[in-house]
């Protein structure tokens, strides 16, 4: 019987003759007996293959190198209390692809920096093996959450004609290597999307509740542990919803995703607890069980002013953009958990956010969490045509490019809200991994472009 998925149904294999394919994690040979630990890719756990000196080719099996692809035929035994929960008494071990001696992974622990140089090999190391499966499961959690609630999944374009955030941090699309790239998308200017929000809003005004989930690009030259030039974002948009509804949705989604991942990745979380963050499960379980606090930007500034000695060389004043250390101070020292900061000064936020009655602030929310800082950015959208048009003028924006967006306010526009969740940051938050480069399969940052 060929084992297609070791994790699936152990009882079906127990005591039977099986064929298992996988990759060698370790190979230890004693005098009369040898142990080959292999992973078949279906689960975190490995199978221990026992081979003995009495069988043909003992010396050949003993020479199989770490990383080799093999096919093992033998009798299967479930060993739930053993270090490896599966065991195979080998009758035959066939090498399908031998691994050369200059294989970059060795049995020891390698540094994260070293691993970033070998993105084609690093998924095979335990940390990345766990992270990238969690990445897959978290994607499924997101889709499950929204699909179960009737949200429509919309594919917004990667190539776009506008800079949604108005921050001008875009990669231009070009096929040319000279300087004449300005209108290089068949005579038009085009760039990689910084956010799917503007393109998803029309769909919210059709299906009521929608979401995008895809890659996003930012040309900010930030060399931090939480910024990447390419990252994935989930952007839901809810019609007939105000900022409170928006925050309720964020909170519910976060809690659902945490519970879903804890349930579907128990081995991965056991590994994170042991090797990455000893408090990981307790920490995120607490988030799933807690109520997310809400605090205005103005209150946050008051807290920061009281602690201003801690932020050397930095003025703290109403109207400033919060730095990540300020955000972390609020959610680590003042609240000790996730907190929504709301009602930011309008001058530091995007043009599409709804202006509050005080005329100074907008109905925006950022969800701040310990370790990571800003995890989600959301807002109620400005649905009043005149107000939005004036704001675009005040900000010196080119109205022609976004006339279609303004027109939505004339064609059955209504109150609506949405947010963007940084998917890679969510993974960092859940696993305890400290650097965004270690949760992305092929990280793209200003200094890294490997393959
Ligand atoms: O706050 P941002 O810029 O919001 C938007 O793009 C809105 N259009 C979202 C919306 O309302 N539909 O980005 C949203 C989130 C941030 O909170 C952060 O988690 C993540 O995206 N993010 C980044 N993640 C990794 N690297 C970067 N350079 C990021 N920039 C933003
Ligand atoms: Mg933001």
Q: What is the mean pLDDT of each run of 10 residues along the chain (451 residues)?
A: 76 90 95 95 94 91 97 92 89 96 91 96 97 98 98 96 75 74 76 95 98 95 92 98 98 98 97 95 93 97 93 89 92 93 97 97 96 94 98 92 95 97 98 97 90 87
Residues with CB under 5 A from ligand 2 (ion): 377
Cα–Cα dist 329/322, whole Å: 11
How high is the pLDDT of residue 11? 79
Count of Cβ atoms closer than 10 Å to residue 177 Cβ: 7
pLDDT at 181: 55
Q: Looking at residue 177, what is its pLDDT? A: 64
- 253: tokens are 């989604």
Q: Give 160's strand partners.
A: 191
- What is the whole-number distance in angstroms between the Cα of residue 418 and the centre of ligand 2? 12
| CB of 375 sitting under 6 A from ligand 1 | yes
Residue nearest atom 30 in ligand 1 by C-alpha distance:
227
Burial of 189 (0-12, 13-18, 19+ CB in 10 A): middle
- Mutation probe of ligand 1 site: the residue of 168, 193, 231 with most atoms within 8 A of C-beta: 231
DSSP letter for 185, please: B
**Which CA distances in Å does 122 have to 3, 117, 276, 341, 441?**
25, 9, 16, 37, 9
Check residue 135 and give its pLDDT: 98
Evaluate: CB of 443 within 6 angstroms of ligand 1: no
Asked whether 440 lines ligand 1 (CB < 6 A), one says no
Protein residue whose Cα sits closest to atom 2 of ligand 1: 377
Cβ neighbours around 388 below 10 Å, total: 23
- On the CB side of 190, CA atoms within 13 Å amount to 13
Cβ neighbours of 230 (radius 10 Å): 17
419 lines ligand 1 (CB under 6 A): yes
Residues linked to residue 235 through DSSP beta bridges, in sequence order = 212
Pairing, β 17-29 against β 33-39: antiparallel
In this structure, what token pair is assigned to residue 349? 């936020």
Amino acid 155: pLDDT: 98
| pLDDT score, position 5 | 78
Residue nearest to atom 26 of ligand 1 (CA): 227
Please give the full DSSP string across 321-386, using - where no structure is assigned.
PPPHHHHHIIIIIISSS-EEEEEEEGGGS-TTBPBPTTSSEEEEEEEEETTTEEEEEEEEB---HH
Is residue 420 within 8 Å of residue 234, measured between CB atoms? yes
Q: Taking each helix axis from N to C terminus, what angle separates 266-275 and 280-289, rounded to the nearest 10 degrees? A: 120
| pLDDT of 432 | 97
Instruction: Choose the residue to mutate in 154, 233, 429, 439 for probing ligand 1, maximizing ligand atoms within 8 Å of C-beta.
Output: 233
Coil, helix or strand at residue 211: strand
Contact between 351 and 394 under an 8 Å Cβ cutoff? The reply is no
Q: What residue ranges define each of the domains in the chain, with the CATH number in brackets?
A: 2-97 (2.40.50.140), 116-449 (3.30.930.10)
Q: pTM of the prediction?
A: 0.95
């Amino acid at each position: 019987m060929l084992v297609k998925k070791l994790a699936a149904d152990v009882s079906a294999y127990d005591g039977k003759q099986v064929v298992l394919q996988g990759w060698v994690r370790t190979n230890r040979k004693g005098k009369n007996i040898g142990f080959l630990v292999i992973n078949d890719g279906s689960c975190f756990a490995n199978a221990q293959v026992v081979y003995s000196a009495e069988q043909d080719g003992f010396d050949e099996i003993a020479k199989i190198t770490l990383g080799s692809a093999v096919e093992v035929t033998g009798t299967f035994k479930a060993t739930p209390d053993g270090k490896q929960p599966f065991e195979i008494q080998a009758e035959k071990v066939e090498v399908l692809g031998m691994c050369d001696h200059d294989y970059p992974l060795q049995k020891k622990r390698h540094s994260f920096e070293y691993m970033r140089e070998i993105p084609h090999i690093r998924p095979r190391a335990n940390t990345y093996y766990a992270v990238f499966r969690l990445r897959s499961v978290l994607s499924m959690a997101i889709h499950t959450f929204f699909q179960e609630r009737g949200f429509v999944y919309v594919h917004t374009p990667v190539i776009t004609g506008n800079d949604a955030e108005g921050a001008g941090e875009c990669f231009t699309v070009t096929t040319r290597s000279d300087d004449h790239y300005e209108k290089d998308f068949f005579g038009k200017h085009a760039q990689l999307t910084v956010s799917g929000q503007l393109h998803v809003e029309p769909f919210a005004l059709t299906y009521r509740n929608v979401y995008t989930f895809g890659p996003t690009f930012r040309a900010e030259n930030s060399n931090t542990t939480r910024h990447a030039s390419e990252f994935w974002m989930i952007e839901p948009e809810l019609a007939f919803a105000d900022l409170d509804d928006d925050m309720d949705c964020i909170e519910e989604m976060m809690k659902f995703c945490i519970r879903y991942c804890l349930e579907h990745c128990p081995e991965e979380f056991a590994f994170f607890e042991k090797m990455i963050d000893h408090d990981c499960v307790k920490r995120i379980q607490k988030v799933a069980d807690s109520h997310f606090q809400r605090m205005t930007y103005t209150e946050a500034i008051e807290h920061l002013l009281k602690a201003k000695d801690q932020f050397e060389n930095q003025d703290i004043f109403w109207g400033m953009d919060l730095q990540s250390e300020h955000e972390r101070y609020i959610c680590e020292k003042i609240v000790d958990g996730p907190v929504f900061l709301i009602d930011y000064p309008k001058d530091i936020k995007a043009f599409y956010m709804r202006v509050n009655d005080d005329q100074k602030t907008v109905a925006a929310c950022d969800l701040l969490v310990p370790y990571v800082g800003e995890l989600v950015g959301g807002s109620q959208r400005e649905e009043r045509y005149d107000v939005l048009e004036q704001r675009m003028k005040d900000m010196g924006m080119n109205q022609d490019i976004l006339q279609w967006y303004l027109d939505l306010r004339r064609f059955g526009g209504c109150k609506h809200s949405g947010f963007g969740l940084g998917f890679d940051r969510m993974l960092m938050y859940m696993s305890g991994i400290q650097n965004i480069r270690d949760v992305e399969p092929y990280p793209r940052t200003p200094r890294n472009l490997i393959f």
